[in-house]
């Protein structure tokens, strides 16, 4: 922990925030002379004042004292990015599997239709004579089965 580097950092933060030593002193409840001593490297703030300073500039103590970002924050950000990446990867895998399943269903449907197109025959049974009528009967044939429904006979009265 180099006192001159801390002094430079405190001054740079104040100048970047575009405030005077008096304004910063008022916000931290210290004197302007204390701010001046910190900025020239004659002293450093006590722990409570360091916390107030970090809170005011919204930085971590590690960043103020060692010019390093908060290690915990870095780990949290890395973990968050890792979770987002794995979630996106899982979504991509899930979407791929859904599309693959739909493609398989469509392929088998088309294949079944092509293989069985015009293989099923349907014959309607109807006959009309002077003495009777045959109606509502049918015969249906497929590769494996034959379905038969006899027709209804309606006799005519003489």
Residue 102 domain-assigned (yes or no): no
Residue 113 domain-assigned (yes or no): no
pLDDT at 24 over 70: yes
pLDDT of residue 83: 66
Average pLDDT, whole number, for the chain?
A: 82
Residue-range definition of the domain harbouring residue 141: 121-155
Q: Which of 1, 55, 54, 49 is nearest to 25 (CA)?
A: 49
Residue 15 domain-assigned (yes or no): yes
pLDDT of residue 115: 79
Residue 53 domain-assigned (yes or no): yes
Residue 92 domain-assigned (yes or no): no
Q: What is the mean pLDDT of residues 32-52?
A: 88
Work out the angle between the directed axes of helices 21-28 and 47-57 (0-180°, nearest 10): 110
pLDDT of residue 146: 85
Q: What is the mean pLDDT of residues 26-35?
A: 92
133 vs 157, residue with greater confidence: 133
Residue 128 domain-assigned (yes or no): yes
Find the DSSP H helices in 17-147. 21-28, 32-40, 47-57, 61-66, 71-116
- What does the alpha-carbon distance between residue 113 and residue 150 come to, in Å, rounded to a whole number? 29
């Amino acid at each position: 922990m180099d006192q001159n580097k801390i002094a430079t950092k405190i001054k740079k933060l104040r100048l970047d925030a575009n405030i005077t030593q008096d304004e910063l002193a008022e916000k931290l409840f210290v004197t302007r002379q204390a701010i001046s001593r910190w900025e020239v490297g004659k002293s450093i703030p006590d722990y409570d004042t360091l916390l107030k300073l970090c809170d005011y500039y919204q930085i971590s103590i590690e960043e103020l004292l060692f010019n390093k970002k908060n290690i915990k924050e870095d780990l949290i950000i890395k973990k968050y990015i890792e979770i987002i990446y794995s979630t996106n990867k899982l979504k991509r895998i899930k979407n791929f599997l859904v599309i693959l399943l739909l493609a398989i269903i469509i392929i088998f449907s088309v294949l079944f239709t092509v293989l069985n197109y015009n293989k099923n025959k349907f014959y309607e049974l109807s006959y009309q004579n002077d003495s009777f009528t045959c109606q509502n009967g049918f015969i249906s044939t497929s590769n494996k089965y034959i379905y038969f429904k006899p027709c209804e006979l309606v006799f005519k009265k003489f």
